[in-house]
């Protein structure tokens, strides 16, 4: 016989390692720890934020190890990959082969859960009574002659041995759904001003915001009266693949489906119509747009730009500072001025009040225009993820709540017209978990066959 | 006003029932006086019923789902911890552990009261039928893990007591080295302290000490065996892990409807995932004979710490979609 190739040894060693439960658990623990790192270390911030929040060595470590975006880092993906690999190998090398253990003769007394019951009657009749006792209680009986000795094997919930297989399959199905999204799905967001139309770039579907409405309710709290938005609704007209304009309503928790892409109500805000003047004369080119928060207007002939930072629905009339009241009662805007990208300052400017930008330039915020913030997402993997989730739940219920157990039964003569029934029980979860039930079974058996 | 007064009365009833019941059951833990068990059990049931009545009364009055803030969810957490424990206690006669569960429930409920900000209507993203499904499931899973945590602590106490006795005396150490004994026949633990039960079969040093008349060791004999305590921990995790799984699944479904993605690596989602991973690892470890018992009990303690971090740490200290952080 030819000697095994070195690569064969490596493959076997790798298979044995990955299929080992302890290794699998260690990989799970690693995955868990990396997941927790992402909870503790705020994700997606810039380096300055980490250096401000942590001692320098830790901040440096965070940046170097990609812990600032850990869930997309090589470490994380590798840990998930290894867990999946370990799970797959264990499924094929251990779970599937061991799903139905062979029926073998055992030394009854060597098994911790065992009992001997002496019963009147000859061997054959006692065996029959014992088997009938177990089969009427839902145990599946199989007889085997092993080296001249008759054994009866009573199995219960054998089907539940697939619980682990179901769980592992579920995880793989979920992983497949996730990969499908990475490969074929897309997501994005857009803010649409009232009356404006936006396009979903990947599908060319058009969405026009006809009307946006929101409701603000007063709430009496321990700290006093507060106002909070309790509902916001976008009335839109959608043009999809069929080319037909279709009116639809989008609200939070109620997305619309546009040719398979789901569009969600994510937020709302206030755009701003402004008038820009130079030496007292309106500049139409700069005054025709509606700005949304973050938009900047460059001032011609200068290196300055003015940024519409945000809309303030209510300015406190006493402190002249922005209040947290979301109702539009005394509105203003916050504008910031930049020179060559360097911030020069910001101003809280009531509507229709001019702001001097220097060199004869002025900007006047005229009126607010509501916009609706949408998120859209196309995820072809959702059905797979959902199916995997349901499968996982089923697998957990099977694994936890159905205990596959096997009783090894042999009947031996015990003097004249009596027999001894030897019983030993094994389960997939050890002996302790079945102890009470086994004792109850034995007690019942004693009463029944006597 | 009348309804809010009822709300407060029920809350006070629940808190005081838990506090007095905890005291009664802790004393029962040491004395094994039957009337203390009955008294404590009655108070546990009363407190639990008062809590559910309080949540119901709040909902009936305000028509706002009461679990949308930390006050409401901590109320449910306490109530479900006690309810799940009561189910275990009746099934396996475990009232001796009730004092610790009730004490923890009282602590969490009292802490929850500090988060009562009055009646606030739900923000748009919380106005969903999923709030009635996802939140109770997740909170119930946390409650089951609290019960498994208590059983784990009892395991560890008995284990280290046995080790202490083994180290303390050569006689007990010899007994410990001698190993196993008779088969345990039941979970029954409401036996007089004077009776030595087979519950000491896996704590031979304690068994030897009890035979020598050591009172503390005799008292330990009234606790289930280490093997049975380990099974109890497993059974409590068997309630918690499927509930947590279903909670995460329903949370993902809700996120899919509300925010456009079933998973956004929000701190709460990832903390829940980390806890799920830990308990999934527990499930795997428990299949290994060498890992059952001591190691699994410690793992369960760590798992519960992750649950508390997920539930309270993330909500209070970390910003995110689930945050109460100001």
For residue A341, give the H/E element and its range: none
The residue with greater pLDDT, B256 or B174, is B256
Pairing assessment for the beta strands A114-120 and A140-146 based on DSSP bridges: unpaired
- pLDDT digits 0-9 by tens, B8-51: 899 999 999 999 999 999 999 888 889 999 999 999 999 999 99
Closest alpha carbon within chain A to B188: A436
Task: Identify the pLDDT of residue B174.
Answer: 57
Nearest to A15 by CA among A66, A85, A65: A85
Mean pLDDT of chain B: 85
Helix axes A6-19, A74-90, angle to 10 degrees: 90
B123 neighbourhood in chain A, CB within 8 Å: 228-230
| Integer Cα distance of A450 and A126 in angstroms | 10
Which 3-state string (H, E, C) describes chain B? CHHHHHHHHHHHHHHHHHHHHHHHHHHHHHHCCHHHHHHHHHHHHHHHHHHHHHHHHHHHHHCCCHHHCHHHHHHHHHHHHHHHHHHHHHHHCCHHHHHHHHHHHHHHHHHHHCCCCCCCCCCHHHCCCCHHHHHHHHHHHHHHHHHHHHHHHHHHHHHHHHHHHHHHCHHHHHHHHHCCCCCCCCCCCCCCCCCCCHHHCCCHHHHHHHHCCCHHHHHHCCCCCHHHHHHHHHHHHHHHHHHHHHHHHHHHHHHHHHCCCCCCCCHHHHHHHHHHHHHHHHHHHCCCHHHCCHHHHHHHHHHHHHHHHHHHHHHHHCCCCCCCCC
pLDDT exceeds 90 at position B102: yes
Cross-chain Cβ contact A433/B231 below 8 Å:
yes
**For residues A192-217, average pLDDT:** 92
pLDDT band at B191 (very low <50, low <70, confident <90, very high): very low
pLDDT at B186: 30
- pLDDT range class, residue B188, cuts 50, 70, 90: very low
pLDDT grade, residue B199 (50/70/90)?
Answer: low
Instruction: Give yes or no for a contact between A406 and A153, defined as CB atoms under 8 angstroms apart.
Output: yes
Q: What is the pLDDT of residue A409?
A: 95
Phi, psi angles (nearest 5°) of residue B243: -65, -40
Query: Is A309 part of a structural domain of the chain?
Result: yes
Residue bearing the bigger pLDDT, B298 or B7: B298
More confident residue, B321 or A159: A159
Instruction: Tell me the whole-structure pTM to 2 decimals.
Output: 0.86
Average pLDDT of A326-330? 89
Interface probe, candidates A35, A116, A182, chain B, greatest B C-beta count within 10 A:
A35
Q: Is A96 on the interface with B (CB under 8 A)?
A: no
Q: Phi-psi region for residue A425, left (φ > 0), alpha (ψ -120 to 50) or beta?
A: beta
3-state secondary structure B31-82: HCCHHHHHHHHHHHHHHHHHHHHHHHHHHHHHCCCHHHCHHHHHHHHHHHHH
Nearest by CB: B227 against A22, A251, A432: A432
Give the integer Cα–Cα distance in Å for A198 and A195. Answer: 10
Cβ atoms B222, B32 nearer than 8 A: yes
- Residue reference for tokens 């064969």: A8
Beta carbons of B183 and A112 less than 8 Å apart: yes
H/E run at residue A330: none
Burial pattern B160-178, b for ≥16 Cβ within 10 A else e, equals: ebbbebbeebeebbebbee
Q: Are A149 and A408 in contact (CB under 8 A)?
A: no
Does a structural domain hold residue A27?
yes
What is the domain partition of chain B in residue ranges? 1-122, 127-326
pLDDT band, very low/low/confident/very high, at B195 (cuts 50, 70, 90)? very low
Does A165 fall in a domain?
no
CB distance B156 to B290 below 8 Å: no
Residue B1 has a CB neighbour count (10 Å cut-off) of 6
State residue A331's pLDDT score.
93
Can you say whether residue A415 is alpha, beta or left, with left for phi > 0 and alpha for psi between -120 and 50 degrees?
Answer: left
Residues in Cβ contact with B257 at an 8 Å cutoff, skipping those fewer than 6 apart: A253, A254, A255, B128, B130
Q: A30 by DSSP, 3-state: which?
A: helix
Chain A residues with CB inside 8 Å of B130's CB?
253
Residue B127: pLDDT over 90 = no
Whole-number average pLDDT of chain A: 90
- The reply to whether residue B120 touches residue A228, judged by beta carbons under 8 angstroms, is yes
Q: Which residue has the higher pLDDT, A27 or B222?
A: A27
pLDDT band of residue B185 (cuts 50, 70, 90) is very low
Query: How far is C-alpha B204 from the chain's CA centre?
Result: 29
Residue B194 predicted with pLDDT over 50? no
Q: In chain A, whose CA is at the least distance from the CA of B255?
A: A253
Q: Are A43 and B277 an interchain contact pair (Cβ–Cβ within 8 Å)?
A: no
**B75 against B189, higher pLDDT:** B75
A285 lies in the same domain as A346: yes
With CB atoms and an 8 Å threshold, state whether A436 touches B187.
yes
> Is the Cα dihedral B241, B152, B91, B78 positive or negative?
negative
Q: Do B259 and A375 touch (CB under 8 A)?
A: yes
pLDDT score recorded for residue A37 = 92
At B183, the pLDDT band (50, 70, 90 cuts) reads: very low
Q: What is the pLDDT of residue B118?
A: 75
Task: Give contacts of A255 with chain B, Cβ < 8 Å.
Answer: 257, 260
**Which tens digits make up the pLDDT trace of A51-103?**
999 999 999 999 999 999 999 999 899 999 999 999 999 998 888 887 778 89
Instruction: Measure in Å the smallest separation between the Cα of A170 and chain B Cα atoms.
Output: 12
Q: Which residues of A touch B288 (CB under 8 A)?
A: 21-22
Confidence (pLDDT) at B261: 87
Selecting from A25, A39, A228 the residue whose C-beta is nearest the C-beta of B271 gives: A39
* A80 belongs to a structural domain: yes
Calpha distance A216→A411 (Å, rounded): 79
For B225, name the nearest residue in chain A, comparing CA atoms only: A432
SS3 A298: strand
User: Cα distance from A54 to chain B (closest Cα, Å)?
Assistant: 15
Alpha-carbon A332 to chain mean position: 40
A390 falls within a domain: no
Interior CA angle at B316 toward B315 and B322, to 5°? Answer: 25
CB A86 within 8 A of CB A23: yes
A33-37, B28-32, B153-157: which range is least confident on average? B28-32
User: 10 Å Cβ neighbour count for A219?
Assistant: 16
CA-CA distance, A221 to A227, in Å (whole number)?
Answer: 10
The number of domains in chain A is 3
Gap from B148 CA to chain A (nearest CA, Å): 15
Model pLDDT, residue B180: 38
Instruction: Give B-chain residues touching A443 at CB under 8 angstroms.
Output: none
Is the pLDDT at A266 greater than 70, yes or no? yes
Chain A residue numbers with beta carbons less than 8 Å from the beta carbon of B257 are 253-255
A148 lies in some domain: yes
Domain of A115, CATH number, reads 3.30.310.80
Nearest to B260 among A32, A377, A400 (CB): A377
B232/B224 Cα distance (integer angstroms) = 10
The pLDDT value recorded for residue B323 is 53
Residue of chain B whose alpha carbon sits nearest to that of A376: B260
Of B91, B90, B12, the residue nearest B54 (C-alpha): B12
Structure tokens at A343: 């911030």
Q: What is the pLDDT of residue B317?
A: 77
CB contact under 8 A, A253 and B127: yes
Range of the domain at A41: 6-95
């Amino acid at each position: 016989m030819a000697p095994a190739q070195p690569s064969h040894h490596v493959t076997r060693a790798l298979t044995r390692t990955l299929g080992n439960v302890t290794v699998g658990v260690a990989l799970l623990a690693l995955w868990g720890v990396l997941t927790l790192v992402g909870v503790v270390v705020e994700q997606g911030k810039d380096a300055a934020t980490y250096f401000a929040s942590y001692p320098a060595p830790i901040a440096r470590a965070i940046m170097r190890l990609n812990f600032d975006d850990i869930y997309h880092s090589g470490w994380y993906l590798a840990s998930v990959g290894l867990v999946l690999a370990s799970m797959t190998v264990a499924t094929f090398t251990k779970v599937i082969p061991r799903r139905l253990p062979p029926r073998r003769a055992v030394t009854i007394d060597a098994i911790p859960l065992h009992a001997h019951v002496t019963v009147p009657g000859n061997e054959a009749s006692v065996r029959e009574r014992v088997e009938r006792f177990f089969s009427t209680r839902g145990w599946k009986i199989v007889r085997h002659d092993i080296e001249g000795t008759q054994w009866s094997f009573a199995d219960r919930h054998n089907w539940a041995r697939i619980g682990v297989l179901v769980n592992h399959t579920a995880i793989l199905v979920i992983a497949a759904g996730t990969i499908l999204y990475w490969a074929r799905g897309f997501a994005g967001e857009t803010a649409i001003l009232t009356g404006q139309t936006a396009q979903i770039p990947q599908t060319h579907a058009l969405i026009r915001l006809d009307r946006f409405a929101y409701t603000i309710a007063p709430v009496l709290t321990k700290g006093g009266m507060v106002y909070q938005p309790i509902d916001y609704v976008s009335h839109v007209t959608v043009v999809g693949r069929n080319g037909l304009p279709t009116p639809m309503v989008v609200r939070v928790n109620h997305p619309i489906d546009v040719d398979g892409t789901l569009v969600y109500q994510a937020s709302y805000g206030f755009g701003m119509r402004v008038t820009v003047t130079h030496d007292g004369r309106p500049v139409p080119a700069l005054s025709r747009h509606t700005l949304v928060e973050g938009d900047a207007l460059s001032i011609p002939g200068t290196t300055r730009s003015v940024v519409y930072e945000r809309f303030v629905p209510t300015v406190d009339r006493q402190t002249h500072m922005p209040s947290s009241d979301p109702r539009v009662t005394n509105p203003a805007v916050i504008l910031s001025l930049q020179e060559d990208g360097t911030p020069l300052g910001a101003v809280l400017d009531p509507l229709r009040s001019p702001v001097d930008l220097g060199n004869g330039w002025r900007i006047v915020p005229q009126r607010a225009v509501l916009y609706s913030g949408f998120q859209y997402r196309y995820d072809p993997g959702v059905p797979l993820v959902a199916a995997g989730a349901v499968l996982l739940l089923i697998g957990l219920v099977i694994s936890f709540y159905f205990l596959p157990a096997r009783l090894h039964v042999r009947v031996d003569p015990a003097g004249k017209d009596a027999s001894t029934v030897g019983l030993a029980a094994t389960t997939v979860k050890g002996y302790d978990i079945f102890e009470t039930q086994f004792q109850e079974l034995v007690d019942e058996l004693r009463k029944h066959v006597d | 006003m009348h309804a809010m007064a009822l709300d407060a009365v029920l809350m006070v009833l629940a808190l005081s029932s838990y506090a007095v019941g905890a005291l009664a059951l802790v004393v029962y833990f040491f004395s094994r006086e039957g009337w203390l068990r009955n008294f404590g059990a009655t108070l546990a049931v009363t407190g639990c019923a008062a809590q559910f009545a309080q949540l119901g009364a709040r909902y009936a009055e305000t028509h706002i789902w009461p679990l949308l803030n930390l006050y409401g969810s901590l109320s449910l957490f306490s109530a479900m911890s006690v309810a799940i424990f009561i189910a275990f206690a009746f099934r396996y006669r475990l009232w001796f552990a009730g004092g610790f569960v009730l004490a923890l429930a009282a602590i969490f409920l009292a802490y929850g009261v500090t988060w009562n900000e009055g009646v606030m209507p739900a923000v748009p993203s919380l106005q969903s039928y999923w709030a009635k499904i996802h939140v109770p499931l997740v909170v119930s899973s946390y409650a089951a893990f609290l019960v498994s945590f208590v059983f784990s602590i009892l395991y560890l106490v008995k284990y280290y007591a046995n080790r202490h006795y083994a180290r303390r005396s050569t006689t007990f150490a010899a007994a410990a080295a001698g190993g196993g004994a008779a088969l345990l026949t039941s979970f029954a633990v409401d036996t007089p302290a004077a009776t030595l039960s087979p519950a000491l079969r896996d704590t031979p040093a304690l068994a030897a000490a009890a035979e020598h008349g050591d009172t503390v060791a005799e008292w330990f004999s009234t606790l289930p065996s280490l093997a049975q305590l380990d099974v109890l921990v497993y059974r409590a995790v068997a309630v918690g892990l499927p509930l947590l799984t279903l909670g995460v699944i329903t949370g993902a479904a809700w996120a899919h409807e509300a925010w456009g993605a079933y998973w956004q690596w929000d701190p709460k989602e990832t903390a829940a995932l980390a806890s799920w991973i830990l308990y999934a690892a527990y499930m795997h470890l428990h299949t290994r004979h060498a890992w059952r018992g001591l190691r699994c009990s410690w793992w369960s303690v760590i798992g519960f710490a992750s649950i508390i971090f997920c539930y309270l740490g993330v909500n209070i200290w970390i910003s995110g979609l689930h945050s109460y952080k100001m």
